[in-house]
Amino acid sequence: MSLLQKKSLSDLNVQGKKVIMRVDFNVPLDKDTGTIPDDTRIKAALPSIQYLLVHGAKLILVSHLGRPKGFDPAQSMAPAAKRLGELLGKEIILAKDVIGEDAKGKAALLKEGEILMLENVRYHKEETANDRSFAKELASLAEVYVNDAFGTSHRAHASTFGLAKFLPSAAGFLVQKELDVMVAALAAPERPFTAIIGGAKVSDKIGVLENLLDKVDNLLIGGAMAYTFYAAQGWETGTSPIEADKQEVALSILEKAKAKGVNLILPQDNVVSDDFAPGAASKIVPANQFDPAWMGMDIGPQTVANFASVIKNSRTVIWNGPMGVFEFPVFAEGTRKIAAAVAESGATSIIGGGDSASALEQLGYAE
């Protein structure tokens, strides 16, 4: 099914029905005051919420917040429910659990136009494990499922992927809007069209890389996956995490890029370290001059400058995967500078993938 054919909220009959909607209320919390300094994500869900209320749904909202390991009152949905109540001018019923007695009891009593907010769905480890019976339990609370959590939709979790297996489902307006923007941008991209692909593994992104070769003018490859491309050409990669069984694919991608006239650029220099640790010793080395005992952790300054100049001249940019081990601040520079280049380019940019999104949030470029 193409993205354009995705079922939308307005295709559903929700009158009098219990609708469970996955929202992304993963908002920042001020620990001292228990307030939410930035409620953008809650506001982004209002069009779908208001539509459902006006059309007589009994609305159950489910979201995650942070990364709790089990029940944790510090990561309760209560502040988000309170803020939503203020924005809507109505009471939000808060369940004390997700699929427990309290949630079930409150869901059963829900009336048309009322909203029940479940507790943090990640109180259950079954959520991220995409556990089928957990998804089934969650689904049993409602009759219809709507996904309006654009920021988490790429993850196959119980409340995103799992619920859709058990209930008639549709995309909410926020998801629909984002998809429309993407489909329009990618159907007829303004050129030059540049893809930046990074992250851990070639194997995760072979399909994406192959597909992009038919579309883009420039393909910039960073992150650990670049080293598999190095290895494929017989270059030294030290102790970098390469995928030996993907070298053939990497070579074929290099050849296809050449044949199709795609400007595929690998890092010309890298930041390498002697240990996979935030405080490890590091130095910058040109490609093909890796010390056998060191590993690549980030793209180097020349690569940053080169990638940035390509990005600056682009009209459409898509980006998936960080340029280095951005979780360690010393190795986040490449990702940070590429984010700055994308932000400053004025190009239509689409940035996808969980880690790319976290990297941008961590580095302050989410907007």
Binding site for ligand AMP (CB under 6 A): 198-201, 204, 223-224, 241, 296-297, 321-322, 324-325, 327, 353, 355
- State the Cα–Cα distance between residues 4 and 176, nearest whole angstrom: 9
Q: Is 95 helix (H, G, I), strand (E, B) or coil?
A: coil
- Cα distances (Å, whole numbers) of residue 11 to 6, 147, 172, 262, 299: 10, 14, 10, 41, 46
Closer Cβ to ligand AMP, 88 or 182, answer by number: 182
Closer Cβ to ligand AMP, 97 or 204, answer by number: 204
Provide the sign of the torsion angle of the four alpha carbons 152, 156, 159, 160, taken in this order.
Answer: positive
| Strand-strand pairing, 282-286 and 269-273 | antiparallel
Cβ at position 46, least distance to ligand AMP in Å: 31
Cβ at position 4, least distance to ligand AMP in Å: 26
The tokens for 68 are 């709790």
Cβ at position 347, least distance to ligand AMP in Å: 21
Interior/surface letters 146-183, b for 16+ CB within 10 angstroms, e for the rest: bbbbbbbbebebbbbebbbebbebbbbbbbbebbeeee
Cβ at position 196, least distance to ligand AMP in Å: 11
- Cα distances (Å, whole numbers) of residue 333 to 227, 264, 276, 322, 328: 18, 22, 16, 10, 10
Q: Annotate 190-229 with DSSP letters as a single string.
A: -SSEEEEE-SS-SGGGHHHHHHHTTT-SEEEE-STHHHHH
Closer Cβ to ligand AMP, 177 or 201, answer by number: 201
Cβ at position 302, least distance to ligand AMP in Å: 16
Closer Cβ to ligand AMP, 271 or 308, answer by number: 271
Cβ at position 40, least distance to ligand AMP in Å: 24
Closer Cβ to ligand AMP, 87 or 330, answer by number: 330
The answer to whether the CB of 188 falls within 8 A of the CB of 12 is no
Closer Cβ to ligand AMP, 79 or 151, answer by number: 151
The amino acid sitting at 233 is: Q
Closer Cβ to ligand AMP, 100 or 354, answer by number: 354
Cβ at position 319, least distance to ligand AMP in Å: 10
Q: Is 25 helix (H, G, I), strand (E, B) or coil?
A: coil
Closer Cβ to ligand AMP, 12 or 224, answer by number: 224
Cβ at position 28, least distance to ligand AMP in Å: 22
Cβ at position 254, least distance to ligand AMP in Å: 19
Closer Cβ to ligand AMP, 90 or 154, answer by number: 154
Q: Annotate 131-175 with DSSP letters as a single string.
A: -HHHHHHHHTT-SEEEE--GGGTTS--IIIIIGGGTS-EEE-HHH
Radius of gyration of the chain (CA): 23
Closer Cβ to ligand AMP, 163 or 350, answer by number: 350
- State the Cα–Cα distance between residues 288 and 255, nearest whole angstrom: 19
- The residue number whose beta carbon is nearest to ligand AMP equals 199
- State the Cα–Cα distance between residues 60 and 121, nearest whole angstrom: 12
Cβ at position 334, least distance to ligand AMP in Å: 9
- State the Cα–Cα distance between residues 73 and 210, nearest whole angstrom: 45
